[in-house]
Structure 1
Amino acid sequence: MPTADELTEAFLWSEYRVVAKTATVSLHANSYQVDPALVGRKVELVFSPFDLETVEVRYHDKSYGKALPHTISRHAHPKARPETAEPEPPPTGIDYLALTATAHHEQLRRDERIGYHALYGEDGEIPGQLSIDNLQPGADVGAEGEVSA
């Protein structure tokens, strides 16, 4: 299984250039400064076609580090196609947020509010609730709320 660095290396592009007397190389309208020891030598420039600001310099398969950008006028290789985003689908004209809000407000209008008065019986007590007034002295209250004498 290849490592991440090996995969990255597999997709890099390379081109050969001769280093000028000023220790610079030119690559696709960009100028880079390289190690002065490479003046007059044919070097390999290894780069990503999508990022011409980062260029590695190699001579006889030995890396001489990254070339320093001197003048950058083009940031990508001319043949490298930029990633294009998928076109946005045409608008449907349906406003889902407004539809949801309208449906919610309609539901609130139709629903009855909680009527707490309906919980109480005619005597003002909740049905099934024991009253302290109804307890007799000495009566035990069972688990079900039944009074036994």
Structure 2
Amino acid sequence: MTKKDDDEVARTERARRIGLFRYMLIREAADPSLTGRQRGALVRKLAQAEHIDADGRPVRITRWTLDRWILEWRQGGFDALVPSPRQSQPRTPPRGGRAGHGVEEGEPGPHGRAGQKDSAGSAGMGAG
């Protein structure tokens, strides 16, 4: 197994642990036999308490997050509680690209001004 494969397995295992943490937290409040009032009381109680997350850190979860997890679980089951891998895109331009995006000296820039310099002698600024 390569390092990349090991990293992928570790990320997948961590995501499953997070899903299990979320499920264990909401399972009682997600009971369909509860009334809205009963569910609300349970969710508020859970939101007030500190919990130990999948990485062993103490965390507090908001009511809104708990409600969202309950809804996601109802719509998609356990898999809906497992976070999906991030799909981040690079923020830097590809190699060889320039930060100026092709704006050369004398060409209009993002504000439509081509190579103008601010000086006391600029047009429209002189004494009459």
Q: What TM-score do you get using the length of structure 1 for normalisation?
A: 0.24
Q: Which has the larger radius of gyration?
A: 1
The answer to which structure, 1 or 2, has the higher relative contact order (CA under 8 A, 6+ apart) is 2
Q: What TM-score do you get using the length of structure 2 for normalisation?
A: 0.26
Query: Hey, which of these two has a bigger chunk of helix by percent?
Result: 2
